[in-house]
Chain A
Amino acid sequence: DGGITQSPKYLFRKEGQNVTLSCEQNLNHDAMYWYRQDPGQGLRLIYYSQIVNDFQKGDIAEGYSVSREKKESFPLTVTSAQKNPTAFYLCASTRTARLNTGELFFGEGSRLTVL
C-alpha cells in the first residue's frame, strides 16, 4: 500500500550529537514537509520541499537541516545546534499536480528524546 514511512519511531540521543530522521513516501508526491510537535502544542513547520533539489525554511528551521535528492525521500537532521530537540517529529507529503486538491498525508511520527 502507498504511504509515508518514518523511522525510527523512537530515538534517544545524547546532547551534542546529530541525528537524522528518515521520511520515505511511495505516493509519487511532489511536496514534502517536516513538522515538530511539543506536548500539548500544535504542529510547527520546520522545512518544506516543493520539488526535488529544492527546499525552504519553515517557522522553526534553526538547528535543523534537510535534503531532497530524491522525490521519495526527505530526511531531517537534528543538529547539536538545536537547543531543545526533544519532541515528536511528523513528516507529511502532498501531490501538487494541477487539478489535485492537495490532501496532506502524514507519517506516524518519530519521537526523539535527548538524554
Chain B
Amino acid sequence: DAKTTQPPSMDCAEGRAANLPCNHSTISGNEYVYWYRQIHSQGPQYIIHGLKNNETNEMASLIITEDRKSSTLILPHATLRDTAVYYCIVMGAGTASKLTFGTGTRLQVTL
C-alpha cells in the first residue's frame, strides 16, 4: 500500500471550513483514499473514501487531484466535536494487506 504524508497539526475556528491535506504520490491505480478520525481514546471512525472522483457525504467532502497524488478532506462547518486526529490511508479494493497508518493530523477546533 502507498504511503501517505500529512501535516502534524492544524487549527480551525468553529464554523469555518477545515481543509486537511494528504499526499499519496505513490498511489497505484486500484487504490482508494480513505479518511478516518480518532477522538481521544476511542477507535478510529470512518469518514469518507474515494478513488478518483470527488466525494461528499453527510460528514465531509473529499477532493482528489486529477493525478491522484494528493487529496483534501473538507469539513465544511467545523465544530468543537470535530477536534480529533485525522488519518489518511490508501487501500486496495478487494485485497487485504499490510495497512499502515501514519501519525495523522491533529485538528484543533477553537471558539
Spell out B's residues near A (CB within 8 Å): 32, 34, 36, 41-46, 49, 85, 87, 91-104
Partner of A102, one of B41, B93, B102: B93
Closest to A108 in B: B43
Spell out A's residues near B (CB within 8 Å): 4, 30-31, 33, 35, 41-45, 48, 50-51, 56, 58-59, 88, 90, 92, 94, 96-109, 111
Question: What is the CA–CA distance of A29 and B42 in the complex, to the nearest angstrom?
Answer: 21
Helix, strand, loop or mixed for chain B's interface? loop
Q: Cβ of B95 and Cβ of A96 under 8 Å apart?
A: yes
Q: What 5 A-B pairs have minimum CB-CB distances, sorted nearest first?
A: A31-B96, A106-B43, A42-B103, A43-B101, A50-B96
Could you write out 8 A-B pairs with CB less than 8 Å apart? A48-B99, A50-B96, A102-B32, A102-B92, A102-B95, A103-B46, A104-B91, A105-B46
Q: Cβ of A43 and Cβ of B44 under 8 Å apart?
A: yes
**17 additional contacts (CB under 8 A) given A101-B32, A101-B93:** A41-B103, A45-B99, A45-B100, A48-B96, A92-B44, A94-B96, A94-B99, A96-B96, A98-B94, A99-B94, A102-B91, A102-B96, A104-B34, A104-B36, A105-B46, A106-B43, A108-B42
Q: Cβ of A42 and Cβ of B102 under 8 Å apart?
A: yes
Contact A30/B101 with A90-B43, A104-B34 known, Cβ cut-off 8 Å: no
Closest to A33 in B: B99
Closest to A103 in B: B46
Q: Cβ of B100 and Cβ of A100 under 8 Å apart?
A: no
Closest to B92 in A: A102
Partner of B94, one of A42, A92, A97: A97
**Residues of chain B with a CB closer than 8 A to A59's CB:** 100
